[in-house]
Amino acid sequence: MAKNDVEKIWSLNYRLMMSVITGVAPDVAGLGMEVKELFLLTEVEAHPHPAELASVLSMPKPTVTMYVKRLEASGFLRREIDGADLRRHRLILTPEGRKTMARGLALLSKAFGARLGRLNSAEQSELAVLLEKLS
C-alpha cells in the first residue's frame, strides 16, 4: 500500500473521530461527565485498575487519577483497595455510574451510528473485522 494511502486513511479516520467526539460533547456534558471520562468509564469493567486504564487508553497516569477523582466525586464509581496488593485500587461502577454510562454510550452510538449508517450491514461487519485486526 502506498504511503499516501496510509496518510489518507489516517486523516479520514482522525477527522471522523474528532468530529463525532466534538458533536456529542455537549450532550454528554449534560449527563454530568466529559467525553474522555465516559471513555474511561466504559473500560472500567474490563480494566478495573488505574494503571491498566492509563495503558489501554494511552493516557498519562495523573490524568487517570484526576478523572477517577471526578467520577468518584460525581458518584459514578467507587474505589476499593485491592486486598492482594495494597498499592492497587480496584474501581467499581456504581449503579448510577452504569446508568449514566449507558446513556452516554447511547449518545455516542447515535452520533457514530449516524455515520456508520452510511454503510450497509455487510460493510459494517467488514469494518468491525478490519479494526479488530488492527487492534
Q: Give the residues lining the site for its own copies (CB under 8 A).
A: 1, 3, 5-22, 39, 42-43, 56-59, 105-106, 108-109, 112-113, 115-116, 118-119, 121, 123-128, 130-135
Cβ closer to its own copies: 26 or 85? 26
Shortest distance in whole angstroms from residue 60 CB to DNA:
4
Shortest distance in whole angstroms from residue 88 CB to DNA:
4
Question: The cell 486504564 sits on which residue?
Answer: 53
* CA atoms of 26 and 23, how far apart (whole Å): 7
Cβ closer to DNA: 87 or 118? 87
Phi-psi sector, 75: left (phi>0), alpha (psi -120 to 50), beta: left
Q: Indicate the burial class of 77 (C-beta count within 10 angstroms; 0-12, 13-18, 19 or more).
A: buried
The footprint of DNA (CB under 7 A) covers: 34, 36, 49-52, 59-69, 79, 82, 85-89
Shortest distance in whole angstroms from residue 69 CB to DNA:
7
97 Cβ neighbours under 8 A, 6+ residues apart: 41, 71, 75, 76, 77
Shortest distance in whole angstroms from residue 97 CB to its own copies:
16
Question: Out of its own copies, DNA, none, which partner does residue 92 contact, by CB within 5 to 8 A per kind?
Answer: none
Q: How far is CA 33 from CA 44, 77, 79, 80, in A?
A: 15, 12, 18, 22
